[in-house]
Amino acid sequence: MAKKIKQIAIYGKGGIGKSTTTSNISAALSTMGYKVMQFGCDPKSDSTNTLRGGDYIPTVLDTLREKGRVDARDVIFPGFNDIYCVEAGGPAPGVGCAGRGIITAVTLFRQQKVFEELDLDYVIYDVLGDVVCGGFAMPIREGIAEHVFTVSSADFMSIYAANNLFKGIEKYSNTGGALLGGIIANSINQPYAQEIVDDFAKQTGTQVVSYVPRSVTVTQSELQGKTTIEAFPDSAQAKVYTDLAQRIANHTDSITPAPLDGPALRNWASKWADNLLAIEQSGTPISASVPATPLPTTSSIPASEKAVAV
């Protein structure tokens, strides 16, 4: 009981590679010997797939719907290296209330003292998108996660989502909620992509904890239904995730970010759009170095990977 469970929430816009990153962090932490639970908070319910050979698991909310009650222990499933996998679940698009679903699932676990009884070291919440309503902020409230990391590419929509998350964190920071650990920069293969994320971090008074390059290794792992840590433990990409996990394990002090307000964010984005246009017109071969990657201002995920990750 004396042990303090480290609870971390990882947010990111849908499709940005947040579940991939989260699962690899969980996998890396478990290989370091920690007891980890990954708690998927996304109605798509696929957060833990790569920890379980590509399997979907029964979700907390589906179980509640089907049985009328949930014993939390019945919706925890073992994954790679005995990671405890949980999916909150949620409604089909266009009906019900996904936000309330997250509240319902997390509350059930807390009431039943599951984290304490499993003697966990880490609970990692993998949460969809920006903080659109109170339910999606549930994991960053007081007493749940202490540290939040956001996965973001250099794609502007992804950065908008990160900025929204910062607003949520700022709001809850006054009442003992989670603080920001930093940004996990994902799909970073271009120097300017790193610059964009770095600049955003600077503007919002935060830090980038890791730059994760786009890698075919990830795609190959996911096609096998595995994390990179499991499928290619000796790969360079696995090393990136292990380093990231180590950094998160060592991380202690989070901060309150300073999100940009609407006009400031727009100005910032248009300044960068001008820069990118200048780079493109100056003839720098953007697409030459990474053939599969379209321009960062549209979507940064290649179609092949999307099919696996989504």
Partner 1 sequence: MSINLNESSVGTRENRLGSITGYSGRLSDLVERSHCGTLGNHERCFSQSSTCNSSCGLSQLAGIRDVAVINHAPSGCTAVAPGIATLDRQMATKRGVTTDTVFIGTDMDEQDTVFGATGPLKDIVREIYRRYHPRAIFIGASCVTGIIGEDIDSVVDDLRDEIPVPLAAIHCEGFRSRIWASGFDVADQAVMTSLVKPPKQRSNKVNFKNFFESARDEIIDIFSNFDVEPTFLYVNSTVDELEHLSEAQATISICGTLGTYLGNALEEHYGVPYIRTINPLGVTGFETWLREIGKVIGKSDKVEAYIAQERAKYLPQIEKLKGELEGIRVVLGMGPGYTFEVTRVLEELGMEVVWAAAWHFDPNYDNGAVPPSMDHLLKNGSDFKLSITDQQNYEILNILDHYQPDIYLSRHPGTTVWAIKQGVPALCVTDEYMIFGYRGVLRFGNSVLDTIRNRSFEKNLAARSELPYTDWWYQQDADALMKEEL
Partner 2 sequence: MAKILDQPCYSCPMAAMRTVQSIDKALPILHSGPGCAEKLSGAVGSSGHFSPHIFPCTAISETDIVFGGAERLRETIGNALKVIDADLYVVLTSCASEIIGDDVGEVVGSFKDASKPIVFASTPGFKGNNYTGHEEVVDAIIDQYLLPAYNARDEREAIKGLVNVWASVPLHDAFWAGNYRALEGLVRELGLTPNTIFGYNHGIEDIDKVPYAQFNLVVSPWVGLENAQRLERDFGTPYLHYPNLPIGAFETSKFLRAVGEFAGVDPARVEHIITVHEREYYHYIERFADVFLETRVMATRFVTIADAQYSLALTKFLVNDMGLTPSKQYIVDGTPEAHQNQIRASFANLNYGIEATVGFSSDGYQIHHEIEEADFAGYPLILGSYWDKTIANKTHAHFIEVSWPIQERLVINGTYVGYEGGLKLLEDIYSVALTRFN
- Catalytic positions, written as ranges: 13, 18, 44, 130
- Which of partner 1, partner 2, none is residue 174 near (CB under 5 to 8 Å by kind)? partner 1
Q: Which residue's CB is nearer to partner 1, number 82 or number 261?
A: 261
Taking CB under 8 A as the criterion, the residue among 53, 78, 176, 205 binding partner 1 is: 176
Beta bridge partners of 100: none
Q: How many CA atoms lie within 13 A of 208 on its CB side?
A: 21
- Which of partner 2, partner 1, none is residue 95 near (CB under 5 to 8 Å by kind)? partner 2
- Asked whether position 61 contacts partner 2 by CB under 8 A, the answer is yes
* Residue 163 φ/ψ, nearest 5 degrees: -65, -40
Beta bridge partners of 9: 125, 148
- Asked whether position 3 contacts partner 1 by CB under 8 A, the answer is no
Taking CB under 8 A as the criterion, the residue among 95, 263, 283, 288 binding partner 2 is: 95
Q: Which residue's CB is nearer to partner 2, number 66 or number 82?
A: 66
Could you give the string, one character per residue 6-45, with x where binding to partner 2 holds by CB under 8 A and - elsewhere? Answer: ----------------------------------------
Taking CB under 8 A as the criterion, the residue among 3, 32, 53, 65 binding partner 2 is: 65
Residue 126 DSSP code:
E
The answer to whether the Cα torsion of 124, 126, 131, 134 is positive or negative is negative
Q: Which residue's CB is nearer to partner 2, number 96 or number 191?
A: 96
- Asked whether position 206 contacts partner 2 by CB under 8 A, the answer is no
- For residues 299 and 240, give the distance between their C-alpha atoms in angstroms, rounded to a whole number: 23
- For residues 116 and 5, give the distance between their C-alpha atoms in angstroms, rounded to a whole number: 8
Could you give the string, one character per residue 58-77, with x where binding to partner 1 holds by CB under 8 A and - elsewhere? Answer: ------x-xxxxx-------
- Which of partner 2, partner 1, none is residue 134 near (CB under 5 to 8 Å by kind)? partner 1
In sequence order, which ranges of the chain are alpha helices (DSSP H)? 18-31, 60-67, 98-111, 114-117, 134-137, 156-173, 191-203, 216-223, 228-231, 236-250, 262-281, 286-289, 303-309
Q: Which stretch binds partner 2 (CB under 8 A): 100-108, 143-151, 216-224, 257-265?
A: 100-108
* Residue 130 φ/ψ, nearest 5 degrees: -80, 170
- For residues 242 and 252, give the distance between their C-alpha atoms in angstroms, rounded to a whole number: 18
| C-beta of residue 293 within 8 angstroms of C-beta of residue 287 | yes
Residues that bind partner 1 (CB under 8 A): 64, 66-70, 97, 99-100, 103, 107-108, 110-113, 133-138, 141-143, 172, 174-177
Residues that bind partner 2 (CB under 8 A): 61, 64-65, 90-92, 95-98, 100-101, 104
